[in-house]
Chains A and B, each alone.
Chain A
Amino acid sequence: GAGVSQSPRYKVAKRGQDVALRCDPISGHVSLFWYQQALGQGPEFLTYFQNEAQLDKSGLPSDRFFAERPEGSVSTLKIQRTQQEDSAVYLCASSLYAGLNYGYTFGSGTRLTVV
């Protein structure tokens, strides 16, 4: 596709449920990033992939968060046993080259609400 596609657009989960958020990057993009944006705040870094390798996961807030990109294209962010504080917009971005100093595109995000 022409842009970064994220699904679902909206997700409501009951506290304690597991959720999976999907990111389809632009075809051929090497780098993929996940960010978490709480209401009224700027996005915060979660994790970074270069192809299938997860090079930085320092922003994942707890071991309930897990991300994968097994074939170096589509990525899934999984959150286990969701808590209310996990409510946020989850943004995905992809970049043609390694790092963020070159062409990149952000998706529209998945809004997760934990009730």
Chain B
Amino acid sequence: KQEVTQIPAALSVPEGENLVLNCSFTDSAIYNLQWFRQDPGKGLTSLLLIQSSQREQTSGRLNASLDKSSGRSTLYIAASQPGDSATYLCAVILDNFNKFYFGSGTKLNVKP
């Protein structure tokens, strides 16, 4: 069974800092990996999707990398803002692509 782990579980930083969120997975036979944002009482918003053949994806201040062989991904957030405060979830899809395997998330608090 695919296990997805996210470190740290919680993170509190002052506004303007650059930060890195980590995700690891046990089965390297993934189809793709996605990073989501979850706000309290809201659904999941997809931030970045990395196909298994790719090494990284960028969107604005966000950059996600994937090292499939070592089972790791990182989400880099540049110049953090209070509006970035949320829970960030990492999820992988295996080759049968009909389900996500999620990590437990990193709860980020960016202080003004």
Contact = CB atoms under 8 A, between A and B. Distances in A.
A18 interface: no
B4 interface: yes
B102 A43 contact: yes
Q: Is chain B's interface secondary structure helix, strand, loop, or mixed overall?
A: strand
Contact of B4 (A42, A99, A107, A108): A42
Q: How large is the interface on A (under 10, 10 to 19, 20 to 34, 35 or more residues)?
A: 20 to 34
B103 A48 contact: no
A101 interface: yes
Given A42-B103, A42-B105, A99 B43 contact: no
Interface stretch (B13-21, B60-68, B78-86, B90-98): B90-98
A114 B100 CA distance: 26
Interface centre among B41, B44, B46, B104 (most CB of A within 10 A): B44
Given A42-B89, A91-B43, A106-B44, A101 B32 contact: yes
A48 B104 contact: no
Contacts of B45: 106
B63 to A, nearest CB: 21
Interface string B25-62: 00000011000000001111110000000000000000
Interface of B: 4, 6, 31-32, 41-46, 89, 91, 93, 97-105
Interface of A: 4, 31, 33, 35, 40-45, 48, 55-56, 59, 91, 93, 99-101, 104-109
